[in-house]
Structure formats: C-alpha cells, structure tokens
C-alpha cells in the first residue's frame, strides 16, 4: 500500500510539473531568420535571462503562404502539450505598451508593418497608408471598376479632330503622383 501511495505521489508531482509547463507566456527575446525565435520566461536563479529553446517561425507554408516574422518584445504564448518546451506550439499573443494595437475599431482588419498600414473596413473600403511609394504589378489596372476608358500618359498621342490644332499631338504634362510603365 505504501508503495502505491509513493508511486501516486510521484505521478502527481510529474503531472504538476507537466501542467506547469504546458502553457508559458512571455515576450519574444530573440528573432533569427533561419533559427526562428526565442521567448523570455524571466530569469534563472543567477539572475540570467531564462530563454525558451528556438521555435520555428509560426507561418503558413501551404497553398496560402505568409511571412510575418515575430518582433522582439511581442507577447506570445507557447503550448507544450506534453510539458516538453522543445515540442511547443506558438500562440500569437496580445498587445503591450511596446506593441499597441493598430486600431480600436471592431469593424476593421488592420495590417501594419513599418511605414505601411492597410485597413479593410466592414463596409468594403480598403485604405493603404504608405510612407513610401506603392507599386502595383499586374497586367491591367481598373480604376473605379471594369470597363473604364484608357488612361493617357505623357508621350501618348491625342487625336484632335477639328480646328487649327487638328492632328495627333503628344501629351506633354501629367500627374506628379501617378506613374505607369508599359
């Protein structure tokens, strides 16, 4: 009987340890393009940083592929189903003073990186706010919807049908902010 109680006590202690390491939350401490990321779980007994093992980047590599690396200071949670931190699964965490939310609206999806913010509103509006130039590479751009008239550019010829200026003349001025390449 005593042997069974000792065995149950040992099993209980093992379960407590496993449960205690099943979910860990902390800020990302290190990020490496090849190795992935490490999370800070506080300090060890000597006051040194206690870091997780390297985890792979939490991205999708299937038919839909993404690359949005974590950043230092970003809060994440790691689920370790069997208590082994080397087998952990990342949960992107919430916001912090270092990384506040890009919006407070429940009617928006917002993506922010560097000097770019893309906002998709529930009413269908899309806003791109960029600190630098925006380049769209596509075989055709339809401004305002399909079926519009072609847009002329500097150097394109315009046919003037009547009057003293009749003939084909090149466009010599255009927008200073919208540019196109054939």
pLDDT of 79 reads: 87
Q: pLDDT higher for 48 or 177?
A: 48
Measure the CA–CA gap between 96 and 75, rounded to whole angstroms: 7
**Mean pLDDT confidence for 59-67:** 80
Measure the CA–CA gap between 119 and 145, rounded to whole angstroms: 20
pLDDT digits (tens, 9 = 90+) for 130-164: 999 999 898 888 887 888 888 888 888 888 989 88
- Model confidence pTM above 0.85: no
Measure the CA–CA gap between 24 and 4, rounded to whole angstroms: 32
pLDDT digits (tens, 9 = 90+) for 22-47: 788 899 999 999 999 999 989 999 99
pLDDT of 62 reads: 79
Report residue 70 as tokens: 């974590």
pLDDT digits (tens, 9 = 90+) for 83-100: 677 777 888 877 888 888
Under 8 Å CB-to-CB from 64, ≥6 apart: which residues?
none
pLDDT higher than threshold 80 for residue 51:
yes
Q: Burial, 70: exposed, middle or buried (Cβ in 10 Å; 0-12, 13-18, 19+)? A: buried
Measure the CA–CA gap between 71 and 114, rounded to whole angstroms: 12
pLDDT of 182 reads: 66
Residue 152 main-chain phi, psi, to 5 deg: -90, 150
């Amino acid at each position: 009987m005593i042997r069974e109680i000792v065995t149950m006590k040992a099993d209980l202690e093992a379960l407590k340890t496993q449960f205690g390491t099943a979910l860990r939350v902390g800020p990302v401490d290190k990020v490496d393009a090849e190795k992935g990321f490490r999370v800070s779980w506080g300090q060890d007994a000597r006051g040194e940083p206690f870091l997780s093992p390297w985890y792979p980047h939490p991205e999708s590599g299937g038919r839909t592929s993404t690359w949005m690396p974590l950043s230092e200071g970003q809060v994440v949670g790691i689920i370790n189903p069997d208590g082994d931190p080397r087998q952990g699964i990342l949960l992107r965490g919430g916001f912090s003073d270092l990384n506040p939310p890009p919006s407070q609206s429940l009617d928006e999806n917002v993506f922010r990186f560097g000097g770019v913010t893309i906002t998709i509103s529930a009413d269908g509006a899309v806003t791109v706010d960029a600190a630098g130039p925006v380049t769209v590479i596509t075989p055709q751009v339809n401004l305002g919807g399909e079926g519009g008239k072609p847009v002329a550019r500097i150097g394109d010829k315009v046919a003037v049908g009547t009057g003293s200026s009749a003939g084909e003349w090149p466009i010599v001025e255009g927008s200073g902010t919208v540019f196109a390449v054939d």
